[in-house]
Amino acid sequence: MRQTTLIIALALNLMPAMPVSAASIQGSHRLWQPHELIVEGPPSHEHAESPNPFLDIRLDVILTSPSGGIRQFPGFFAGDGQGGGTGKLWKVRFTPDEAGEWQYAVRLQQGDNIAVAGLDATGVALPSHGDTGTFQIGTMDPAAPGFLSKGPLYYVGEHYLQFADGTYWIKGGVDSPENFLGYAGFDNTVKQSGGVRPGSLPNQLHAYQPHIEDWQTGDPLFTSADTDVDSKGIIGAVNYLSSQGVNSIYMLMMNLGGDGRDVYPFIGTSGSHFDNTHYDISKLYQWNLVFDHMQRRAVAAHMVLGEQETGNTQWLDEGTLGIQRRLYYRELVARFSYLSALKWNLSEESRFTDEQHRTFAAYLRSIDPVAHPIGVHHWVDNPAEQYEPLLGNTDFEITSIQFHPDKADEFTEQWRTRSTAAGWPWVIDMDEQGPGNLGLSTDNIDEMRKAVLYPVYFSGGNIEWYFGRYSRDIGLENFRAFEPMYRYMKYARELLQEQVPFQLMKPNDGALTGGHQLDQVFELSAQHYLLYMQDGNDGRQLELPENAYRLRWFDPRNGRFAEAERLVSGGSLSLGPAPGELAEDWVVLIDATDQSPEPEPEPEP
């Protein structure tokens, strides 16, 4: 967690001799669960022009943890606190990462554009400014759902993200539809003119009707004030993906001027300064219900802040880090940075310059008290153009690589190696596989398992699946079509998580000879080896350090180990044929053991 002496000084200045508390703390008061700190300010509404409650009034809350850590959390105008756009409530959302007594100090001030000023911004004090208090956070609830029992997901200087409970995470997500939030059940969500209009969406907005049956009693339920469509489709889609082991969803947060033109947090879509600095409170309240549900179903939010079309890149401040973009970033951070599993992505297929990448990321990093990982997506098969200038930059922790299948293991291994050499190891996310007009289809699932899934996972990377253009991306309504891949992905991820210390392992494909060029070796030398082979034919040799090992065959198509296993020694090991279909792909797991293999029988004279 990144702290500054400035925040400490601000906190000390706000601490009176006797605590004065008017804030309300809402939440379970348990570790790793979401909470809101709510204060009263001047009455306002989401269309107010002077003062603009989003831009000219600023809430920050300085939280001091039981161990003494101090962080400044940005707040937001919440209207009536329940999604209504008129009211006098401001909120800060946070997820406590320590049990014990917490302290808070409220800074609520007014001034021209104060919301996008620096951390030490000062203005006219408003009611609740200077309020302080304490609250208690109990220990973790082991029965809490999803990420609420694991804690925030952090970058820890390694190639995998790690939860607060110490476990490491492997991503297996969906990259389509990019306009996941272009949903008819949200308020003020209208398909704007221009852009892509797939015929698979008769009303030009998602309804996810095939997933209404996946909604469950007790799940979030809300209805659009404009369409009378409720939340069952999108919540059901989250439930379905979670039930299949999918643990991340890619989503654009604003696509005006881009392809879909149906996702935006603003009250209006004219592109005027007024519209771009006023936010739709009811829609953002509904978005948050979906995101909170995702966390409870162990599905991470991959929030992509823009897309590559010129109309979108120029929508805010003509592409610069001006008032509108700063406010956009701040509103998203204030409302959603409490989420335990969240990735910020500066842009889809970014056309921003190196300097813009650095500037945008530095600002985003400065306002996110949780330091969620930041990455940027690039044009297909050309990661070096965006990534070389960012190597070693500590504001970037994670990739978002778009690639053709034949580049899967090459790019995963290359950027692991290059980022490590630069002194700041990146988490390698392979977020969109080509070809662009096809992606993952119902006809190539087996091919993609062989060419992409295992080459990425056994090279030390993470993955999200792109489903192809138009009707299978922007127009996607039914996630079930790709269920076999979710199953294969779950098998592979569980194998890594349950059988080996994957976070310590490295790719070493050269140790295996006599097979296919896409064969993979993922190893912790002399301890654990995972081999992925494109077929089960005989003839492969693996070079092993001297030790005793247990060898098992794993079928990636059904997620089960074969019954037969054998003890082997180090040196040049002949793997032999697979115990089943030789034309199909196989995994071999080799673990060091205390048992000694039986000596080879002496040949008869």
Closest CA to 73 of 53, 47, 102: 102
Q: What is the pLDDT of residue 532?
A: 99
Give me the residue label for tokens 């080799």.
Answer: 590
Assess contact for 492 and 453: CB atoms under 8 A. Answer: yes
User: Is residue 15 pLDDT above 50, yes or no?
Assistant: no
CA atoms within 13 A on the CB side of 210: 10
Q: What is the pLDDT of residue 602?
A: 57
Which 3 state secondary structure label does DSSP give 175? coil
Peptide bond preceding 19 in cis form (omega within 30 of 0): no
User: Is residue 287 pLDDT above 60, yes or no?
Assistant: yes
Question: Per-residue DSSP letters for 550-589?
Answer: EEEEEETTTTEEEEEEEEEEEEEEE----SS-TTS-EEEE
Supply 161's token pair. 């993200």
Please state, in angstroms and rounded to a whole number, the distance separating the CA atoms of residues 250 and 400: 11
Phi first, then psi: give them for residue 364, nearest 5 degrees.
-60, -45
Phi first, then psi: give them for residue 86, nearest 5 degrees.
-120, 135
pLDDT band at 5; cut points 50, 70, 90: very low
DSSP state letter for 600: P
Query: Counting beta carbons within 10 angstroms of the beta carbon of residue 114, is it exposed (0 to 12), middle (13 to 18) or buried (19 or more)?
Result: middle
How many degrees, rounded to 5, is the angle at CA 323 between CA 317 and CA 328? Answer: 85
Average pLDDT (298-321) is: 98
Phi first, then psi: give them for residue 47, nearest 5 degrees.
-100, 0
DSSP state letter for 30: B
Supply 170's token pair. 């492997």
User: Is residue 19 pLDDT above 60, yes or no?
Assistant: no
Supply 159's token pair. 């190639």
User: Is residue 320 pLDDT above 60, yes or no?
Assistant: yes
**Neighbouring C-beta atoms of residue 27, cutoff 10 Å:** 17
Give me the residue label for tokens 């001027």.
Answer: 257
- Compute CA 525 distance to the chain's CA centroid, rounded to the nearest angstrom: 31
Assess contact for 94 and 64: CB atoms under 8 A. Answer: no
Pairing of strands 172-174, 462-465: parallel
Which 3 state secondary structure label does DSSP give 73? strand
DSSP state letter for 116: G
User: Is residue 6 pLDDT above 90, yes or no?
Assistant: no
CATH number of this structure's domain 5-144: 2.60.40.10
Element (H, E) at 462: strand 462-465
Pairing of strands 541-555, 586-592: antiparallel
Residue-wise pLDDT for 158-194, tens only, equals 999 999 999 999 999 999 999 999 999 999 999 999 9
pLDDT band at 12; cut points 50, 70, 90: very low
Assess contact for 465 and 195: CB atoms under 8 A. Answer: no
Supply 222's token pair. 């809300």
Q: What is the pLDDT of residue 4?
A: 42
Please state, in angstroms and rounded to a whole number, the distance separating the CA atoms of residues 130 and 239: 42
Percent of the chain with pLDDT over 90: 91
Supply 13's token pair. 């200045």
What amino acid occupies position 252? L
Assess contact for 126 and 93: CB atoms under 8 A. Answer: no
Residue-wise pLDDT for 374-424, tens only, equals 999 999 999 999 999 999 999 999 999 999 999 999 999 999 999 999 999
CA dist 185 → 130, 223, 230, 260, 313 (Å)? 39, 6, 5, 16, 27
Phi first, then psi: give them for residue 68, nearest 5 degrees.
100, 0
Pairing of strands 76-77, 86-94: antiparallel
Closest CA to 488 of 559, 434, 536: 559
Assess contact for 475 and 547: CB atoms under 8 A. Answer: no
CA dist 285 → 85, 305, 557 (Å)? 10, 18, 41
Element (H, E) at 39: strand 35-45
Strands (E), 47-157: 57-64, 70-74, 76-77, 86-94, 100-110, 124-125, 132-137, 153-154
Q: What is the pLDDT of residue 472?
A: 85
Q: What is the pLDDT of residue 52?
A: 99
User: Is residue 145 pLDDT above 70, yes or no?
Assistant: yes
Residue-wise pLDDT for 54-103, tens only, equals 999 999 999 999 999 999 999 999 999 999 999 999 999 999 999 999 99
Residue-wise pLDDT for 183-232, tens only, equals 999 999 999 999 888 877 878 999 999 999 999 999 999 999 999 999 99
pLDDT band at 22; cut points 50, 70, 90: confident
User: Is residue 321 pLDDT above 70, yes or no?
Assistant: yes
Q: What is the pLDDT of residue 605?
A: 54
Assess contact for 461 and 430: CB atoms under 8 A. Answer: yes
Closest CA to 162 of 172, 173, 151: 151
Closest CA to 359 of 346, 368, 348: 346
CATH number of this structure's domain 148-502: 3.20.20.80
Residue-wise pLDDT for 516-543, tens only, equals 999 999 999 999 999 999 999 999 999 9
CA dist 519 → 451, 498, 510, 531, 535 (Å)? 10, 22, 9, 7, 9
Assess contact for 406 and 434: CB atoms under 8 A. Answer: no
What's the whole-number average pLDDT of the chain? 95
What amino acid occupies position 411? F
Supply 352's token pair. 């921003």
Please state, in angstroms and rounded to a whole number, the distance separating the CA atoms of residues 568 and 347: 49
